Chains A and B, each alone.
Chain A
Amino acid sequence: MTLASDAALAPAVEASLARRKDAEARANPLLVLIVTGMVVALGSLGFVAVAPNRILSGKAVPLWSAVEPGSALLVGALVVALGVAALVRSGPWRDRMTAIVAAALLIACVAAAGHAGSLVAADSGPIARTSLGAAFWIVAAGSAFALADATGRLAPHPLAQAAIAAAVVSLLAALAFSGALSDLSLAREFANRQSVYGAEVVRHMALVGGALAGALPIGGVLGVVALRRPGWRKPLFGTLNLVQTIPSIAIFGLLIGPLSALAGAAPFLRTLGIGGIGAAPAVIALTLYGLLPIARGTFTGLASVPEPVIDAARGMGLDERQILWKVSIPLALPILVAALRVVVVQLTGLTVVAALIGAGGLGSFIFQGLGQTATDLILLGALSAIVLALIADLALRSLGAVLTSGRPS
């Protein structure tokens, strides 16, 4: 009987295997799209923009005339290689090839831009500026995305992804330290502000840290309160949600008045740094923003702990504090870390706005750049803020993965 049914099934099994093979043999449509975009961009758009000075807008120069033929060929060859990777049979082998080629392309593309900058500097003197052009951004973003997508399939574990990201970033950093990129306008802006750059990054992180120092304990307590008193949930989360709704700049602005009045009434506060503008209103506003995700994450996390586990713990004689710290919090940890990640990323973004009320941070580069129409200064601030948010995100993802390893899914 088994034999008979096996025989009957065989054609169907064969057909499904054939379908699978067909799917495996298929090209990666997204990668095809990315590579097509790169080819079109390199062919029709400027790879860099060259301007006689900092403020004037530049003239687009395509890749082949921006760098020596060897560099252009290398970038072109890597684009072609990525195209080949898009067409080969799917599987780990393709993803490995995609990841390696995409990483090489990303680095080669940055190096080519640096090379273009050096050629311009040698040609037109140190005042001329070389900015990154549309083709550069498309190739760089495309290869970064292809790399992220391929590593996402190859190594889904956040720690592995963090390691790959760190490897690529350190190669780019080595390139930057070698001086190969120093003639790019972005690097010049960085060099001009090297003395304050580190301080602003630290300040940015300090603002986020200060807000966390306030929001974590308060939000945590509010989350526990919401858990223990169901009647408070709606008004509590409703109010916190209202705070999140109000645009950040409005809250920053609204805090200036009361705080400067406070500092005026009690001048010693000013010596503590509490005044109408600066860090104090920024940290207060950021703390307020952090409350909802933390309170909600705490509530959701603790509420996710199975009731029987709590019942058993209580029945065995754990007191309420032991239940919270030994049972509930460890079990809620994945959700708590996820909430922390959301908060840190959100606050890192909101802190950019804090520069408008004199709190400093990476936003100050952006708004200075906007004020001076210095696009590369804008870029310096914006890219730094993005990188900082991405690092925070990846770091907390990795932390979450470490803390929850060996858990039932």
Chain B
Amino acid sequence: MSARALPSTGGIHHLAGRPAIWATLAFLAALALLPFSDPLFHALFPELQRPLYTRASFVDLALSHAALVGVASLVVVSVGIGVGIFVTRPAGRDFAGPVDTLTAVGQTFPPTAVLALAVPVIGYGGAPTVIALIAYGLLPVVSATIAGLNAVPVAPVQAADGIGLSPAGRLLKVELPLAAPVILSGVRTSVILNIGTATIGSTVGALTLGSPIIEGLSGSNPAYVLQGAILVGLFAIATDLWFDELEHALH
């Protein structure tokens, strides 16, 4: 998943060439218009008594979903990049092998299983979701940070030493900027994965855009499923496209 498609470069300054903006607008429009779409869903699903999800407002769901992913991602980015930096320094070199093993093995764990394992420990609600998102989201960030820092060419690092940069200066001014694209792709993988896992978080009691889907599935209400799926799909796509823009800006 390292190489992702870039947005079309033609006219980056024009709105037409910026799908991230379009996807965001579509998401916001869906969020704003869905509460008024009762007639539409009545027409689409005539057999349903209540075809519009009203248990919580879609805006609340979106905010809660974004907050879960946002909090988890903040922790993931700071801790994950920190761990990645630590094990690539002389002091942390002893941990590099085991951390590598841990991230490799951990990433084979099904995210839903990790989410489910948090419940016996923490209980139901938003907390186990955030914990699971952090635990699982760390892995791609750590491995991308290690990969990115290890892939920094030797020449600029030696040059940095040669001109007398301190180890910290070398890290901040040379190594991290050069490793940034790889690290960013790890963060992107982590965030997108977490948006998806947070959706499943509704099954353990977290309030997310997945709530209408889960409720629709258990209550045989396909309209709820559709509403949740549209919103969470647009949310994920818009986020992913913003990462595109970010990667583009980085080059």
Q: Do the two chains touch directly in the complex (Cβ atoms below 8 Å apart)?
A: yes
Q: Mark A234-258, 1 if CB is under 8 A from B, else 0.
A: 1101100110111111110110110
Answer whether A389 and B108 are a contact pair too, CB < 8 Å, given A29-B95, A244-B1, A249-B200.
yes
A253 to B217, CA, bound (A): 8
A381 at the interface (CB under 8 A from B): yes
Residues of B within 8 A of A29 (CB): 94-95
B240 in contact (CB, < 8 A): yes
Q: How far is the CA of A276 from the CA of B226 in the complex (A)?
A: 13
Complex Cα distance, B112 from A241, in Å, reads: 21
Q: Known interface pairs A348-B110, A389-B109. Does A257 touch B101 (Cβ–Cβ under 8 Å)?
A: no
Are A356's CB and B98's CB within 8 A? no
Question: Which chain B residue shows the least CB distance to A347?
Answer: B110
Is B80 in the interface zone, CB < 8 Å from A?
no
Smallest CB gap from A90: residue in B: B94
Which residues of A are found within 8 Å of B101, using beta-carbon distances?
145, 148-149, 152
| A181 interfacial contact with B, CB 8 Å | no
Contact B196 A379 (CB under 8 A): no
Instruction: Flag if B112 contacts A363 (CB, 8 Å).
Output: yes
A340 to B95, CA, bound (A): 29
A199 to chain B, nearest CB (A): 19
CB-nearest residue of chain A to B216: A253
Q: Give the chain A neighbours of B186 by CB distance below 8 A.
A: none
Q: In the bound complex, how far is the Cα of B94 from the Cα of A28, in angstroms?
A: 8
B135 to chain A, nearest CB (A): 12
Residues facing A in B206-249 (CB within 8 A) are 210, 213-214, 216-217, 222, 225-226, 228-229, 232-233, 236-237, 240
Residue from B108, B196, B236, B240 in contact with A393 in the complex, judged by beta carbons closer than 8 Å: B108
- Work out how many contacts link A and B, with CB atoms closer than 8 A: 155
Q: Is B119's CB under 8 angstroms from A378's CB? A: yes
Which of B5, B110, B213 sits near A352, CB closer than 8 Å? B110
Contact A247 B5 (CB under 8 A): no
B110: chain A residues at CB < 8 Å are 348-350, 352, 382, 385-386, 389
What are the residues of chain B within 8 A of A247 when measuring CB–CB?
195-196, 199-200, 210, 232-233, 236
Among B6, B121, B213, B216, the one with the most A-chain Cβ atoms within 10 Å of its Cβ is B213
B108 touches A245 (CB 8 A): no
Q: List chain A residues, Cβ under 8 A from B117.
A: 378-379, 382
Nearest opposing residue in chain B for A392, CB measure: B108
Q: Which of A30, A149, A246, A349 contacts B111 (CB 8 A)?
A: A349
Cβ-based interface call for A115 (8 A):
no
- Which stretch from A99-107, A267-275, A316-324, A365-373 is at the chain B interface? A365-373
B237 touching A349, Cβ below 8 Å: no
User: Assuming A256-B225, A348-B110, A352-B112, is B105 touching A250 (CB within 8 A)?
Assistant: no
A153 contacts the other chain (CB 8 A): yes
Cα distance A245–B238 in the bound complex, in angstroms = 10
Q: Does any Cβ of A come within 8 Å of B24's Cβ?
A: no
Within 8 Å of chain A (Cβ to Cβ): is B88? no
- Residue B4 at the chain A interface, CB threshold 8 Å: yes
Interface residues of A (CB under 8 A from B): 28-30, 131, 134, 145, 148-149, 152-153, 234-235, 237-238, 241-242, 244-251, 253-254, 256-257, 260, 276, 292-293, 296, 345, 348-350, 352-353, 356-357, 363, 366-367, 369-370, 373, 375-376, 378-379, 381-383, 385-386, 389-390, 392-393
Q: Please, could you name 16 A-B residue pairs with CB atoms under 8 Å apart, sorted by A? A: A30-B95, A145-B101, A152-B101, A237-B4, A245-B192, A245-B236, A245-B237, A247-B195, A250-B229, A352-B112, A352-B113, A356-B203, A363-B112, A379-B120, A382-B113, A393-B108
- Residues of chain B whose beta carbon lies under 8 Å from any beta carbon of chain A: 1, 3-6, 8, 94-95, 97-98, 101-102, 105, 107-114, 116-117, 119-121, 124, 192, 195-196, 199-200, 203-204, 210, 213-214, 216-217, 222, 225-226, 228-229, 232-233, 236-237, 240
Which 8 pairs, one residue from A and one from B, show the smallest C-beta to C-beta distance?
A: A349-B110, A238-B5, A247-B196, A375-B120, A250-B229, A253-B225, A382-B113, A352-B112
